[in-house]
Amino acid sequence: MRHSSSSEATRLIIRRDPLHPGAQRSLFPTHGIRYWGFYTGQAGDPADLDVTMRDRAHVESHLQRLKEFGLNQFPFTNFEASANWLMMVALAGDLVRRFQLLFLTGPSKEARPKSLRWGIFRVPGRPVYRSQRRIVRLLKGWPTADVPLGAYQRIALLT
């Protein structure tokens, strides 16, 4: 990545997108179109630079999720213990994200880790064995109980 301090090498690249339902409107008063732009000092085709910028946004979003899982905390003073901590945080973050993408729907599919912890992973329930089958009983009337139930149903379709 090459950056130049000269203002001649800096470009403003603006992309025009159709406005999808729920999207934030842009600064310009247009109907059905949204504008999004970024400055860059890189040379190259604007379409390729736009793809690179959008990919970078996905990576930054993933890193933010990992930080919310504990990536920015180092509870140990030992290097090996801290390395193991980072590996566990990365594995947990990836597992939860894959779970979200594969088995959750609606707003839960894009929910942040804190929302998942409080809304889905802490739904009161207990395992019950009936007729040699394990059943998970969730608290009746819990506001977010339908989300893990739907996920269990989608998991059952795979097994």
55 has a pLDDT exceeding 80: no
Average pLDDT of the chain?
A: 83
58 has a pLDDT exceeding 80: no
pTM: 0.63
Asked if residue 3 has pLDDT above 70, the reply is no
Residue 110 has pLDDT above 80, yes or no: yes
Q: Provide mean pLDDT across the span 2-11.
A: 61
CB within 8 A of 149, min separation 6: which ones? 138
Q: Which residue has the tokens 């403003």?
A: 12
Scanning the chain, the segments in alpha helix (DSSP H) are 46-66, 79-103, 113-119, 146-158
Rounded-to-10 torsion of CA 136, 134, 95, 113: 10
| Mean pLDDT, range 102-118, rounded to an integer | 89
